[in-house]
Chain A
Amino acid sequence: MKLAAGLSLLALLVAAPVAVATPTGTLPPAPPEVPAPLAFTAVDRPGDSGDAILLTWGDPPDLPADAVIEIRRAQPPADEWTDLAKVKPGVGQYVDTTARDGNVYRYEVRVRSAGTADSTGIAGAVGPPVVSDPAASHDNWFRAERTNSFIAMGLFTGIILVSIQVARSGRPLFIRKIAGLNAVDEAIGRATELGRKVLYVPGIASVNDIQTVASLAILGHIARASARYGTDLDCPNRDPLTFVSARETVRSAFLAEGRPDLFREEMVNYITYDQFAYTAAVSGRMVREKPAANFLIGHFFAEALIMAETGQSTGAIQIAGTADPAQLPFFVAACDYTLIGEELFAAGAYLSREPVLLGSIRGQDLAKALLLLFGIVGIVAATFGITWFATVLNTR
């Protein structure tokens, strides 16, 4: 390579005076040693909070190997250019995040190649600059790349709200029988006969966890049943916020059954925040006080197994429910009935016959039907080569 460069340098030196001597001579002007970038644009970056300008350009075809694209910026009316960045070929774009809303900028892009000699024979030739129109950054109203999830969320919210409205308007809504739930009243009845208490563990997650909120709905129903039957209820808590909500739920359940006298504060009690200190305390209570029925409903983590196995060894009837796939195997294997995954949410609706819950279950089923339809149509289309259905779901 070096020899070739040296020779071409020599040839240039020889030809240089001739070229200089005949600026408009018969020789066609030598093509610029280094080409200029193509289709250079500078616009506000779309879908952002401002302070950013997007530069795009096409790499010219015959780029020298070691070429680098230099970007410079000036703030009109001032005409002095400041260097901004150097970008390798093949990228084709650059985002200037130092821009500030309210200012107008002009950008200049040119190719610099250290290896190629420029017209004066010195290495480091620079191609002709391409200057952009003036551009100003501003914030945008919508992030277009997320249109698909925006539509999906809007559609789903619409379906849910309409279903809830339909449910509230009094139309009877059907929810299929969930096996685990019929056992709930049977379990409380058994506890009442044996004169032993019912233990309800609402999971260990906080009240911002959706399984916990569903569990509280079921706790409300069980509290109303134990108020009717006069059964003793014990609800040990691990999370302080769940504890407060659980106590309010049980208190209002006893009130709703007209038996506030039966409600005792310590029915709903707080043990500790730590997962395993709480687990040890609850399993100890299962062994010592032998409740007739254990409900393990809500969001559980590793402690599910200890409680399910300990409860099973005391011979209590156990109904479990969680949406976490990691704990379901143990509940399925060690408990009499298990609410699997979504059945936990459906159980809240089934028990309370609450229009809002029934309506949202209907809405979710409708959404599931739409997803299934979309999927099946997508699969058929994909088999015939149309991939739009999968790509439209890509989220960023």
Chain B
Amino acid sequence: MAGLLDKLLKIDRRWIFFFVALSVTVPILVPLGLPISTTSATQMAFDFVEALEPGDVVLLSFDYGPSSAPENDPMAEGFMRHCLSRDLRVVVCVLYPLGALGLANNVVARIGHEFPNKVYGTDYVNLGYKDGDRAVMRRLGDSIADAFPTDVNGRPIADLPIFHGVRSIRQVKVVFTAATGLIGEWWITLVHAQFGTPVIIGPTAVSAPKYYAYISSGQLAGMLGGMKGAAEYEQLIGKKYPVLGNYYKGTRLFTAVKGMDAQTAIHFVIIVFILIGNVAFFASRLRQGRS
């Protein structure tokens, strides 16, 4: 047995890579449709948006790059679909430099087509990217137009009807930040702390554990943690809004719920790897102990 384990440990890394690729590809080709349970942080976020009234203005900030798009895209899309289904006014902005602008443009274009009755400039607007992250957040405290004089295409935002009655972030009912890295945290420790605007965060699974401390201190209005949080949110809005439910069932495009099948398979594989690795480790230590 020990010989087998040692041989196992010495196997070429590329066998592990092949096995990982296999266990992710199969669920994509053959969807399993496993059930997804809802956690309280996602329910908090969903209930918060449900409590908003038509005409309220919300801010969706793209603070992630292509390197975490499969986790954050479904969150940003889900939030925008949820808000437009509730006739809220959605203002989109981008503070992350590494490729976030392209993702925001794609989401705004795709969701714009899904809601033909919603008018750009009245129901939703894309303010594009701006350098200076925290300097931008401080300006949003006084006036959105100072930080973002124009929208992503260079059109002055002063004459856009969506900003009727909204001058600064204080009139925004909630900020949803789909985030990786630190920008998401700055919305909490700067914008929420100094201007009071509630924040819902959609972090990558990597940075999600840190935000449990902010949930329990009441600084967050909700959290969609990683791909699982996005999948839970997709299920919640799919159940509440039949139009969205049908979309998520019918679409060929990538969704978080579909991704969860492959997540389950790979989690199984990695747990097995950890167990084998440690069994072999203890076996070899036992033998060293005896020899």
Would B67 and A326 count as touching, CB distance under 8 A? no
Query: Does A395 make an interface contact (CB < 8 A)?
Result: yes
Encode B145-184 as 1/0 by CB contact (under 8 A) with A.
Answer: 0000000000000000000000000000000000011000
Q: Are A301 and B193 also in contact (CB < 8 A) when A313-B13, A326-B209 are?
A: no
Q: Are A326 and B207 also in contact (CB < 8 A) when A275-B98, A301-B181 are?
A: yes
> Total interface residues on A, using CB and 8 Å?
10
Residue of B with least CB distance to A299? B182
Query: Does B7 make an interface contact (CB < 8 A)?
Result: no
Q: Which residues of A contact B98 (CB under 8 A)?
A: 274-275
Query: Does A23 make an interface contact (CB < 8 A)?
Result: no
Q: Which residues of B contact A395 (CB under 8 A)?
A: 193
Q: Are A325 and B209 also in contact (CB < 8 A) when A275-B67, A276-B67, A301-B180 are?
A: yes
Query: Does A396 make an interface contact (CB < 8 A)?
Result: yes
Measured between C-beta atoms, what is the minimum distance from A329 to chain B in Å? 9
Would A326 and B206 count as touching, CB distance under 8 A? yes
Encode B237-269 as 1/0 by CB contact (under 8 A) with A.
Answer: 000000000000000000000000000000000
Q: Which residues of B contact A301 (CB under 8 A)?
A: 180-181
Would B196 and A302 count as touching, CB distance under 8 A? no
Would B67 and A302 count as touching, CB distance under 8 A? yes
Measured between C-beta atoms, what is the minimum distance from A390 to chain B in Å? 11
Contact of A326 among B13, B193, B196, B210 (CB under 8 A): B210
Most buried by B among A275, A301, A325, A396: A301
Residue of B with least CB distance to A396? B196
**A396 vs B193: C-alpha distance when bound (angstroms):** 6
Q: Which residues of A contact B210 (CB under 8 A)?
A: 325-326
Q: Which residues of B contact A276 (CB under 8 A)?
A: 67
Would A302 and B206 count as touching, CB distance under 8 A? yes
Encode A295-324 as 1/0 by CB contact (under 8 A) with B.
Answer: 000000110000000000100000000000
Q: Which residues of B contact A396 (CB under 8 A)?
A: 194, 196
**A288 vs B196: C-alpha distance when bound (angstroms):** 52
Measured between C-beta atoms, what is the minimum distance from B71 to chain A in Å? 11
Measured between C-beta atoms, what is the minimum distance from B217 to chain A in Å? 10
Measured between C-beta atoms, what is the minimum distance from B277 to chain A in Å? 11
Encode A365-396 as 1/0 by CB contact (under 8 A) with B.
Answer: 00000000000000000000000000000011
Most buried by A among B180, B193, B206: B206
Instruction: Scan residues 193-221 of chain B and give those whose CB is less than 8 A from a CB of chain A.
Output: 193-194, 196, 206-207, 209-210
Residue of A with least CB distance to B68? A302
Q: Which residues of B contact A313 (CB under 8 A)?
A: 13
Measured between C-beta atoms, what is the minimum distance from B226 to chain A in Å? 11
Q: Which residues of B contact A274 (CB under 8 A)?
A: 98
Residue of B with least CB distance to A394? B218
Measured between C-beta atoms, what is the minimum distance from A313 to chain B in Å? 7
**A325 vs B181: C-alpha distance when bound (angstroms):** 11
Encode A254-276 as 1/0 by CB contact (under 8 A) with B.
Answer: 00000000000000000000111
Residue of A with least CB distance to B217? A393
Q: Which residues of B contact A302 (CB under 8 A)?
A: 67-68, 180, 206
Measured between C-beta atoms, what is the minimum distance from B263 to chain A in Å? 17
Q: Which residues of A contact B206 (CB under 8 A)?
A: 302, 326
**A302 vs B67: C-alpha distance when bound (angstroms):** 9
Residue of B with least CB distance to A325? B210
Q: Which residues of A contact B209 (CB under 8 A)?
A: 325-326
**A396 vs B194: C-alpha distance when bound (angstroms):** 6
Instruction: Scan residues 112-144 of chain A and give those whose CB is less than 8 A from a CB of chain B.
Output: none
Instruction: Scan residues 1-54 of chain B and give those whose CB is less than 8 A from a CB of chain A.
Output: 13
Measured between C-beta atoms, what is the minimum distance from A322 to chain B in Å? 13
**A276 vs B180: C-alpha distance when bound (angstroms):** 14
Q: Which residues of B contact A275 (CB under 8 A)?
A: 67, 98
Measured between C-beta atoms, what is the minimum distance from B162 to chain A in Å? 21
**A395 vs B191: C-alpha distance when bound (angstroms):** 12
Instruction: Scan residues 325-350 of chain A and give those whose CB is less than 8 A from a CB of chain B.
Output: 325-326
Q: Which residues of A contact B68 (CB under 8 A)?
A: 302
Encode A267-299 as 1/0 by CB contact (under 8 A) with B.
Answer: 000000011100000000000000000000000
**A301 vs B68: C-alpha distance when bound (angstroms):** 12
**A316 vs B206: C-alpha distance when bound (angstroms):** 26
Residue of B with least CB distance to A395? B193
**A274 vs B99: C-alpha distance when bound (angstroms):** 10
**A275 vs B206: C-alpha distance when bound (angstroms):** 16
Encode A143-185 as 1/0 by CB contact (under 8 A) with B.
Answer: 0000000000000000000000000000000000000000000
Q: Which residues of A contact B (CB under 8 A)?
A: 274-276, 301-302, 313, 325-326, 395-396
5 A-B pairs in the complex with CB atoms less than 8 angstroms apart = A301-B180, A302-B180, A302-B206, A395-B193, A396-B196
Going nearest first, the 9 A-B pairs with the smallest beta carbon separation are A326-B206, A326-B207, A325-B210, A301-B181, A395-B193, A276-B67, A302-B206, A396-B196, A326-B210
Given contacts A301-B181, A313-B13, A396-B194, 17 further A-B contacts (CB under 8 A): A274-B98, A275-B67, A275-B98, A276-B67, A301-B180, A302-B67, A302-B68, A302-B180, A302-B206, A325-B209, A325-B210, A326-B206, A326-B207, A326-B209, A326-B210, A395-B193, A396-B196
